[in-house]
Amino acid sequence: MIKTRLHDEYGICVVNPAVERLTAANATAFKEEVLALIDQKQDKLVIDLADVTFLDSSGIGAMVGLLKRLGNRGEIVVCSLSSGVQQMFKITRMDRVFSSYSDVNAAIAAIKERV
What Cα–Cα distance (Å) separates residue 6 from each residue in 12, 23, 26, 56, 74? 6, 25, 23, 27, 15
The pLDDT tens digits of the residues spanning 75-104 come to 999 999 999 999 999 999 999 999 999 999
Give the chain's domain count.
Answer: 1
Using DSSP's 3-state secondary structure scheme, residue 17 falls into: coil
Number of H helices, E strands in the chain: 4, 7
C-alpha separations of 42 from 20, 30, 57, 70 in Å = 24, 15, 25, 9
Please tell me the predicted confidence (pLDDT) of residue 59: 97
Residues in the chain, total: 115
CATH number at residue 14: 3.30.750.24
Give the C-alpha separation, 60 to 55, whole Å. Answer: 7
30-83: per-residue pLDDT in tens? 999 999 999 999 999 999 999 999 999 999 999 999 999 999 999 999 999 999
For residue 84, give its domain range.
Answer: 3-114
pLDDT value at residue 3 = 85
Report the predicted TM-score, pTM, of the whole model to 2 decimal places: 0.94
